[in-house]
Amino acid sequence: MSLLEGGRREPGRAMMRQFAERLAAAPGNTPRPAGPDGALYLGLAAHQFWDERDYVRARDCAAAGAGAALAEHAPPEWWALTFLAARCQLKLGDFEGCVMQASLLARHPLALQQLSLRARAKALLATAHQGRGHLSEAVRQAEAAVAAAQKAPAGNDGLLEAYQALAAALTESGRLAQAWEICRVFLVPLLDTVPDSQLAGKGFWTVGNVAFRRGDRVAGLRFHQQAASLLSPRLDLGLWASFNKASASMRLSSGLHDDQTLICIEHAETALAVVGGSVTDALDLLHSRGRWQHLQGNHAEAVRLLSAAYAERAVLAPQTAAEVALQLGLSLASLGRSCAAAARLEESEALFRKAGAADRSGHAKALAASLSQGCQG
């Protein structure tokens, strides 16, 4: 058990069957099925697949387990496994499916009775809407998550998750002053009370993102360094990879193309090669490599890399696709290809506008207008 809990041993099917049998026969509990079609076994299998980052099988097992829990008259287990299935959908980029499941969970009688559950479902909804590029709805759902978490009698984890979702949604929407106020007044003080280093690390990561986006490079670096000191590749290599990928992106957005930025990109690439990254992860790293080359003055190479990411933009959220188009436009302009650059910047403006990111839409529009004049001339 110690090896399993420490992550140094993974349970096989026989061991999960044994765990399910022991749990089903626990004194004081209503007898329950322990076989491979029962909720106990399927729930254990779903969590194991989650730990292995096999999100397709985790989703399928969680959905099957939720169905079994419903048949076994175990609503709390149904809720937990449906929530896990929705989280898998988010990981797989199925934002529509995640929204449907999370909406169902948020209005379920259990969530109405236990506001901590409602807060978790609303925070998941906010993240899924953000992934769809529906930023105003993401903010609305994150605000509902905070409201529910503030009323819940549970600990700080749910409230921390809700504030992170709200800060992220506000930031993507361009409402940077509000996002920073949430971080300064609520999120940072909460982080000092969180004993879990991974949770605290994710919180400092969020605060650093907001600082970078509002142009405060010093604060962005400070909070990301705090996050880096808490997020361990030994505890969660996938999370560590995601942080390095995001940190590289934020550093590049603020004009930083030093050795540490390149190290972040390389850490993310190496870790994702081990754990298996998604198509979106690969495109994000291609985008970062392109921006790195642009800042290094290698504009032709930047155009090559960014064009490859741009060709696959359909799988990205609108605001992310807009960032790729924006950077490609800037790199094309640096090569003197004004007409092509203006076209990419106009597309970037439209995508930002579609997502509800008014500040970035206006920035892209101004850049496109200046290049269009040169192109016409």
Mean pLDDT of all residues in 152-159: 76
Total of domains in the chain: 2
Residue 125 lies in a domain: no
Mean pLDDT of all residues in 297-305: 96
> Rounded to the nearest 10 degrees, how much is the dihedral formed by the CA atoms of 268, 271, 277, 281?
0
* Residue range of the domain that includes 204: 139-231
Per the prediction, the chain carries an average pLDDT of 90
Where residue 377 falls among pLDDT bands split at 50, 70, 90?
A: very low
Residue with tokens 């529910």: 148
3-state SS class at 92: coil
Residue 310 lies in a domain: no
Residue 111 lies in a domain: no
Residue closest to 171 by CA, chosen among 228, 215, 132, 218: 215
CATH number of the domain enclosing 165 = 1.25.40
pLDDT, one tens digit per residue, over 159-209 is 999 999 999 999 999 999 999 999 999 999 989 888 889 999 999 999 999
Instruction: State yes or no: pLDDT of 139 exceeds 60.
Output: yes
Q: Which helix (H) or strand (E) holds 73?
A: none
Residue 238 lies in a domain: no
Residue ending a domain, among 199, 231, 263, is: 231
Residue 156's CB: how many other CB atoms inside 10 A? 16
Residue 179 lies in a domain: yes
List the structure tokens of 320: 């992310």
Angle (CA) 112-100-246 rounded to 5° is 100
Instruction: State yes or no: pLDDT of 234 exceeds 60.
Output: yes
